[in-house]
Amino acid sequence: MNTKAFIFDLDGVIVDTAKYHFLAWKKIADSLGFEFTHQNNELLKGVSRVRSLDIILELGKVKAPQEDKNRWLIQKNEDYLSYLVDMDESEILPGVMPILNYLKEKKQLIALGSASKNARPILEKTGTLSYFDAIVDGNDVSNAKPDPEVFLLAAKLLNTKPEDSIVFEDSVAGVQAANIGGMTSVGIGEAATLHEAKYLFKDFTQMDKTFIDNLIK
């Protein structure tokens, strides 16, 4: 049987943390006196914390010295972490566990490829850490998605070529990163935003074992 590398994004793919990122960023925007909408939040998916703040400040037309930015970055992360305190396996998105278990059963390699610097504690809290043969997160890379660095490093750690790697992603930047890296991109979400993905599923409950079997062939 063939062995492929299956690389999972974290936020929006394994867990629905996008809602917590949204609440924490909204608090910053509220305190600065401008509106931050769910639509605005789409721009931040898969984007690093530092870049996310820059995008938000551009939206609110706010110019600020670096020391203010540093303070807001700390504030946002503290607030975000406060939402994660009680996190457990109930926050794993529907259909994820059956796919992870099937990949294990088929002796496939599994990696995490996330922009988040909070990835490890989230995997621990949700009881999914042991599924991953390699973890690459925001602490390990210097180039943000759509740069493919995060996924290329994950494939390298798994000793797998990019063309034998499959990436599950909910963000436009992440799908682009997988494509640029020469990997098979699987979008998890809406066709309207993820049309660049090679394959698309609304969520993991729509993905059956045959789809995985065909990727492994």
Binding footprint of ligand B16 on the chain (CB under 6 A): 9-12, 21, 44-49, 52, 77, 114-118, 138, 171
Binding flag, residue 11, Mg ion (CB under 5 A): yes
Nearest approach in angstroms of CB 169 to ligand B16 is 8
**Binding partner of 179, given ligand B16, Mg ion, none, CB within 5-8 angstroms per partner class:** none
Q: Which is nearer to ligand B16, 116 or 165 (CB)?
A: 116
37-96: which residues touch Mg ion (CB under 5 A)? Answer: 46
Nearest approach in angstroms of CB 31 to ligand B16 is 18
The whole-angstrom separation of Cα 127 and Cα 138 is 20
The whole-angstrom separation of Cα 99 and Cα 178 is 20
Question: Which residue among 4, 7, 8, 12 contacts Mg ion (CB under 5 A)?
Answer: 12
Say whether 9 is catalytic: yes
Secondary structure, 3-state, the chain: CCCCEEEECCECCCECCHHHHHHHHHHHHHHHCCCCCHHHHHCCCCCCHHHHHHHHHHHCCCCCCHHHHHHHHHHHHHHHHHHHCCCCHHHECCCHHHHHHHHHHCCCEEEEECCCCCHHHHHHHCCCHHHCCEEECCCCCCCCCCCCHHHHHHHHHCCCCHHHEEEEECCHHHHHHHHHCCCEEEEECCHHHHCCCCEEECCHHHCCHHHHHHHHC
79 annotated as a binding-site residue? no
Q: Which is nearer to Mg ion, 106 or 117 (CB)?
A: 117
Q: Which is nearer to ligand B16, 108 or 118 (CB)?
A: 118
> Which residues touch 56 (CB under 8 Å, ≥6 apart)?
25, 28, 29, 36, 40, 44
Per-residue string for binding with Mg ion, 139-178, x by CB under 5 A?
-------------------------------xx-------
**Binding partner of 49, given Mg ion, ligand B16, none, CB within 5-8 angstroms per partner class:** ligand B16
10 annotated as a binding-site residue? yes
170 annotated as a binding-site residue? yes
Say whether 86 is catalytic: no
Nearest approach in angstroms of CB 113 to ligand B16 is 7
| Active site residues per annotation | 9, 11
List contacts with Mg ion (CB under 5 A): 9, 11-12, 46, 170-171
